[in-house]
Chains A and B, each alone.
Chain A
Amino acid sequence: MGMTISEKILAKASGKKKVEPGDVIRAKPCFSTSHDVYTYPHWTSRLDRAGFKKLHNPDRVAIVADHFIPAMNTTWATNHKGLRSWVEKFNVKYFYYGEGISHQIMAEKGHALPGEFLASDDFECTTLGGVGCFAAGIGTSILETYALGDLWMRVPTSIKVELTGSLKKGVTTRDISQKVIGDIGDGGALYSAVEFTGPAIAEFSVDDRMSLCARIVYTGAKTGIVNPDAKAIEYARGRAKAPFDPVVSDSDAKYLRVLKYDLSVLEPLLAAPSAPVNSQPLSKCKGVHIDQAYIGSCASGRLDELRNVARILKNRRVQPHVKFIIAPPSAEILAGLSEEGLLRTFMEAGAILGAPGCGACFGSYGGVLASGEVCISTTTNNVPGRMGSPEAQIYLGSPETVAASAIEGKIADPREYL
């Protein structure tokens, strides 16, 4: 019996020839990463109390300040100051302040690598499955990796999602991901790796694949992953901060379930209030009045997608009552927007530019919602309170759908603009 890509990566990481779903192993990540929310002072003080003297391998640690940048208040200015001293004291090799969201930076800067294991303290890191990396949100086990270099992992079962056919214009990998998340449902993929496969994958850029793997955690999945091909390897080659070995699933690997989708019949979808798994066809939500439209987060807003957004916004202006915010997931993406002249299109359309970071996705700042407001957003989660007031409503969709909605001031279909 063959192995899935996830099993192969975890076998390698634990120095074993073979692992099976359900096995509990100690695995060594290629890189470990944590962000500003918990690293300082939460993780660092817990490490202190455990007698921590040095990072097990400071060359394989990347710390990202992405949630509260630039410092939103004195508490966070102080925490960031402390974080910087900690990074210096323990010789952390990679520290990114305000360069983007961790789950984007780890790909762009070559920490999430095809066929390798990345451990993050944030469970949304599944986005990185788009480069063929097994990226797992491991919460407090970040303390193990920092102190000891390895952590416990339970080998997940795998669910195969087979994609055939081509997406129609205006339908995106974000819509595929919404379809899959809705179909699997809350808890439907508990402790599984969701592996996206099939002939359709070859057409997708790495950016597209990242949007495909994002948010899969809301099904209870451990991660989402795409087998790396020449495109993924090419993406990683120029950036890799460590050697990598791009393994792929065997043809006789075992899957718990196989789901098949013909992409040519897929329509744009939204996650309607108030759960990420609450998939609704865009056509059913069309016309809902919106107060805010937000493009950003680790789930969407990469360059390929923003080029489409620019096509929609070109020579148009968003409705005056709509707060339209674009917060690119990284500084590299922002630089790309600038080089390609897309920023001008966005500004002329009436967009507010957010800093490259997590922004309003988690409701702290940069586009927080008031009670009774309705937002359409490309962020990750739409539970009550996620982007501000618990009495606000959040619809989640593709960047194209959000842009079209901003123009109309109500939920709109991007296919009419492309």
Chain B
Amino acid sequence: MEKKLKGTAWKFGDNINADEACQFYKNMNIDLNDKNALAKICMTGYDPDFPNKAKEGDFIVGGKNFGSGHMHAHFYYSIKALGIRAVIAESVFHRLYREAINSGLPLIICPSTDPIKNGDPIEIEVDRGIISNERTREVIRAEVLSPILKEIIEQGGIDGYIKVKIEKL
């Protein structure tokens, strides 16, 4: 994983429901290996045009309880498929916390995402837990990812992680 991630912030509110965000019950037949189809449903429950606006390397910024409810995998697979590099939020639903890490998607948890506005250019130093807003020059201190979790993200997720560990067994 690069030390510094740069991209545009796409701002969403509190309590973003995972199934609603990817319109799960409408899209449940999309195969989890079909990246093109998955990318097209990313966050469309809240912003139908999102897959056209967001660019590879951008960030999704949520508030509290991001990814709530009975989450299905289409939610975080669609975020990855669109090329979103990290999710920034004040808190995330516990299932997403695990599945984002396990799918190699960095989660940046910070006390408040208020200083970030939609469309702001953002830089994240993942190792130090620093988010810089290049528009306002404001710096937000985020949680530093535990080395245990960083190791998983660096292998691209849990599948890569266990592959490396199995080889060493």
Where the two chains meet, the residues of A that have a C-beta atom closer than 8 Å to any C-beta of B are 24-26, 46-47, 49-53, 123, 137-141, 143-144, 147-148, 152, 154, 186-187, 190-191, 220-222, 381, 383-386, 390
Q: Considering the complex, give the chain B residue whose CB is closest to the CB of A25.
A: B148
Residues of B within 8 A of A221 (CB): 94
Whether B97 pairs with A50 at a CB distance below 8 angstroms is no
B46 on interface, CB distance cutoff 8 Å: no
Q: Considering the complex, give the chain A residue whose CB is closest to the CB of B160.
A: A50
One of B3-11, B62-70, B79-87, B134-142 contacting the partner: B62-70
* CA of A221 to CA of B68, assembled, Å: 11
A163 to nearest B CB, angstroms?
24
A257 to nearest B CB, angstroms?
15
Whether A152 pairs with B166 at a CB distance below 8 angstroms is no
Residues of A within 8 A of B88 (CB): none
Residues of B within 8 A of A123 (CB): 95
- Known interface pairs A50-B166, A147-B165; A140-B95 also in contact (CB < 8 Å): no
* CA of A385 to CA of B24, assembled, Å: 10
Q: Considering the complex, give the chain B residue whose CB is closest to the CB of A148.
A: B165
Whether A141 pairs with B102 at a CB distance below 8 angstroms is yes
Whether B91 pairs with A190 at a CB distance below 8 angstroms is yes
Whether B163 pairs with A144 at a CB distance below 8 angstroms is no
- Known interface pairs A383-B19, A383-B70; A50-B65 also in contact (CB < 8 Å): no
* CA of A138 to CA of B99, assembled, Å: 9
Residues of A within 8 A of B166 (CB): 50-53, 147-148
A/B interface sample: 8 pairs, CB < 8 A: A49-B163, A50-B160, A52-B162, A123-B95, A138-B98, A141-B102, A144-B158, A186-B69
B69 to nearest A CB, angstroms?
7
Whether B158 pairs with A220 at a CB distance below 8 angstroms is no
Whether A143 pairs with B158 at a CB distance below 8 angstroms is yes
* CA of A390 to CA of B25, assembled, Å: 8
- Known interface pairs A50-B166, A148-B165, A187-B15; A140-B98 also in contact (CB < 8 Å): yes
Whether B70 pairs with A381 at a CB distance below 8 angstroms is yes
* CA of A50 to CA of B146, assembled, Å: 24
* CA of A152 to CA of B158, assembled, Å: 10
Whether B149 pairs with A187 at a CB distance below 8 angstroms is no
Whether A137 pairs with B95 at a CB distance below 8 angstroms is yes
- For chain B, residues 33 to 89, give those with C-beta under 8 angstroms from any C-beta of chain A: 64-65, 68-70
The number of chain B residues with a CB under 8 A from chain A is 32
B46 to nearest A CB, angstroms?
16
New A-B contacts (6) at CB < 8 Å, excluding given A187-B15, A191-B91, A191-B94: A46-B159, A49-B159, A50-B166, A139-B98, A144-B158, A220-B93
B114 on interface, CB distance cutoff 8 Å: no
A333 to nearest B CB, angstroms?
25
Whether A190 pairs with B93 at a CB distance below 8 angstroms is yes
Whether A220 pairs with B68 at a CB distance below 8 angstroms is yes
Whether A139 pairs with B25 at a CB distance below 8 angstroms is no
Whether B69 pairs with A383 at a CB distance below 8 angstroms is yes
Residue with the greatest number of chain B CB neighbours at <10 A, chosen from A139, A143, A384: A139
Whether A190 pairs with B70 at a CB distance below 8 angstroms is no
* CA of A371 to CA of B166, assembled, Å: 49
Whether B146 pairs with A24 at a CB distance below 8 angstroms is yes
**Top-9 shortest CB links A-B:** A187-B65, A24-B146, A50-B163, A140-B102, A385-B25, A147-B162, A50-B162, A191-B94, A24-B148
- Known interface pairs A186-B65, A187-B68; A384-B162 also in contact (CB < 8 Å): no
B152 on interface, CB distance cutoff 8 Å: yes
Residues of B within 8 A of A25 (CB): 148
Residues of A within 8 A of B99 (CB): 139-140
Q: Considering the complex, give the chain B residue whose CB is closest to the CB of A362.
A: B70
Whether A148 pairs with B148 at a CB distance below 8 angstroms is no
- Known interface pairs A191-B97, A220-B68, A383-B69; A140-B158 also in contact (CB < 8 Å): yes
* CA of A123 to CA of B99, assembled, Å: 12
A150 to nearest B CB, angstroms?
10
- Known interface pairs A46-B159, A141-B158; A190-B102 also in contact (CB < 8 Å): no
B102 to nearest A CB, angstroms?
4
Residues of A within 8 A of B160 (CB): 50
* CA of A204 to CA of B162, assembled, Å: 42
- Known interface pairs A140-B99, A144-B161, A144-B162; A220-B152 also in contact (CB < 8 Å): no
